[in-house]
Amino acid sequence: MGQPKSAVIRSDLDIVIARTMARDMARTLGFSAIDQARIATAVSELARNIYLYAGTGTVTCREVEKHGRKGIEIVCEDQGPGIPDIDLVMQDGYTTSRGMGMGLPGAKRLMDDFSIQSQVGVGTKIVLRKWRS
């Protein structure tokens, strides 16, 4: 198992750094070119959410294994305002003035596992996993 890698999100440039980091790890773990693009795109969406709504946060990628199957896990965490109604933001087409309404549901579709915890005034933690086929 390789070392986990983290990127701090503070600016729009850090979004590029985070998705490049995720793609590099996915490539190292043997994901196909299309899965690499899915993983990097999901990270790009979630890192942008951190930048737009929380201002700062972190994206951490690590290798995971379950029942002999290898995968990548991505944890996106922030201490931002939190999400009052998670069901609402997970609806396709739901958007605030700044988004397109496909950040969260889009990222979920691109990955295999998706879980979200959020508390208003405390922050948001999203865990994504993709398993190698």
Partner 1 sequence: MALLPVQALILTGPARQLPQHVQRPCAREDRVESLRIPILKIGDILIASIQVNLHDASAVQFKDDLLQKIHDTRAKGVIIDLTALDLVDSFIGRLVADIAAMAGLMGSRVVITGLQPAVAITLVELGLELPRVITALNLEKGLSVLQRLTAESGDGAA
Choose which of 55, 81, 82, 106 interacts with partner 1 (CB under 8 A). Answer: 106
Q: How far apart are CA 38 and CA 36, in angstroms?
A: 5
Q: Is 55 a residue that touches partner 1 (CB under 8 A)? A: no
Q: How far apart are CA 78 and CA 55, in angstroms?
A: 8
Q: Is 44 a residue that touches partner 1 (CB under 8 A)? A: yes
Which H or E run includes 80? none
Q: Are 76 and 126 in contact (CB under 8 A)?
A: yes
Q: Is 17 a residue that touches partner 1 (CB under 8 A)? A: yes
Residue with Cβ nearer partner 1 (83 or 107): 107
Span near partner 1 by CB under 8 A; candidates 11-19, 67-75, 78-86, 122-130 = 11-19
Q: Which of 112, 108, 110, 50 is nearest to 82 (CA)?
A: 50
Q: Is 6 a residue that touches partner 1 (CB under 8 A)? A: no
Q: Is 18 a residue that touches partner 1 (CB under 8 A)? A: no
